[in-house]
A = this chain, B = another copy of it.
């Protein structure tokens, strides 16, 4: 795959002067055309080159987003939503020109309803900010994609992360949304009822639509009781296969693990170097257990027994917060640890997810493949869900390295789809996986296109992402 085939070409539709004037009149200094501001909004964490918008509007309310969208729609100019900028597939790159709406000023938690275990927040609130505000309620918001992403961005990409094996993803944890559609109208989807059979599931349609069907401005999410006790465990294995088979046995036994992460040797080495740790450099599993003190103990013991059955060693579990934080901080630093393997590098992060019975085979084949590469590559993942990532360290200015990384990803996606899996467990399609989506869902993509055309006939919302509309 080269970029020309993977990125949907959409002819640039730059914001005309009249639109820039209108935005300036409506938003004053909060409509910026400064180069630095535009550049900052033209790149995410992917290796894709900067594609800056023509202007950036800093919105403070749903009404302001609606006004900005209406003005852009009048001028048939693309509109891109921007949160923390931590997407991994070029989601926020303004590849067709247009106006970016920065939602980080919409940073109010509007309501925490502890009795109902839910909260409503503006789209620019980050997950850490929400959890800060929940601290005294006995509740927490579990979705943890690593980065301190905004709730709007997390909903838009159907994010998940390390806790998903127990608590689900944004798909399961989003109760209701407010979004601005392509014509500037505002839709409120879902309700605070924990379940509903009221019509088409517009909430789930917007979750994962990556700003192409609407701009999410408010999110109502489910909260969960803080577990009475938490414990972590770490265990090393002789082979990748035995580590992964331990995970499969754990899931099949119905042990409600809260987190279950795999790291290969190279990733343990990268983390040791980056975080100055002395973890044993072997295939490794991190576990976390949530529940009553007894339940947590019972879960850890059951997993230890399974690990021993599979030749695991050094099983160590701890319920002290300090030790736990140290381990999880290391796990979350993996992205930066990968980046730090070479100076001035970027990381291409793959995202295959397969049925768990296929996971060991998929990882073993992938390790063989990356063993033939000259690039430094780590492998780690949320293996309780069958989801794992390669972090491919590359020089973004080297076409050869980009090509090599993309070829590895290409083969991995092929492998995952052949095994009944998906090209993306949690990162989304963006501009990087459009061809992969077409391969994975040959009969679904035409349906997605029909929905996109119905809701955004002029292809104004984040054009060139998710779907190739001009093919």
Interface residues of A (CB under 8 A from B): 113-118, 157-160, 164, 168-169, 171-172, 181, 185-189, 191-202, 204-205, 207-209, 213, 224-225, 227-228, 248, 251-254, 256, 292, 294-295, 298, 351, 353-357, 385-387, 416-417, 420-429, 433, 436-437, 440-441, 443-445, 447-448, 450-455, 466-467
Contact = CB atoms under 8 A, between A and B. Distances in A.
B208 A425 contact: no
Given A115-B356, A204-B204, 7 more contacts: A115-B355, A171-B195, A191-B440, A193-B425, A198-B436, A200-B205, A200-B444
A421 B193 contact: yes
Contacts of A188: 441, 443-444
Candidate in A185, A420, A453 with the most chain B CB atoms within 10 angstroms = A420
B208 A205 contact: no
A201 to B, nearest CB: 5
A434 B424 CA distance: 37
Contacts of A113: 355, 357
Candidate in A193, A354, A428, A454 with the most chain B CB atoms within 10 angstroms = A193
Number of this chain's copies in the assembly equals 2
B197 A158 contact: yes
Contact of A198 (B191, B193, B441): B441
B454 A194 contact: no
A287 B151 CA distance: 35
A116 B199 contact: no
Nearest to A356: B116
B437 A198 contact: yes
B192 A443 contact: no
11 contacts: A114-B252, A115-B252, A118-B355, A194-B386, A195-B385, A195-B426, A198-B422, A199-B444, A200-B451, A201-B201, A450-B454
B425 A195 contact: yes
Given A201-B205, A204-B171, A387-B195, A181 B447 contact: yes
A455 B205 CA distance: 15
A193 B420 contact: yes
Contacts of A197: 157-159, 208, 351, 422, 424-429
Contacts of A185: 443
Ranked 8 nearest A-B pairs via Cβ: A225-B254, A454-B454, A204-B204, A115-B357, A196-B422, A193-B353, A116-B355, A192-B420
A297 B108 CA distance: 42
A458 to B, nearest CB: 14
B424 A196 contact: yes
Nearest to A429: B199
A189 B444 contact: yes
A416 B202 CA distance: 20
Contacts of A441: 188-189, 198-199, 202
A189 B208 CA distance: 15
Nearest to A203: B204
Contact of A437 (B114, B186, B199, B437): B199
Given A199-B445, A204-B171, A355 B440 contact: no
A466 to B, nearest CB: 6
Contacts of A168: 172
Contacts of A117: 251-252, 356
Contacts of A171: 195, 201, 204
A453 B158 CA distance: 26
Contacts of A453: 454
A389 to B, nearest CB: 13
Contacts of A254: 224-225, 227-228
Candidate in A113, A160, A194 with the most chain B CB atoms within 10 angstroms = A194
B191 A422 contact: yes
A202 B354 contact: no
Contact of A386 (B189, B193, B386, B423): B193
Contacts of A192: 355, 420-421
A157 B199 CA distance: 9
Nearest to A202: B444
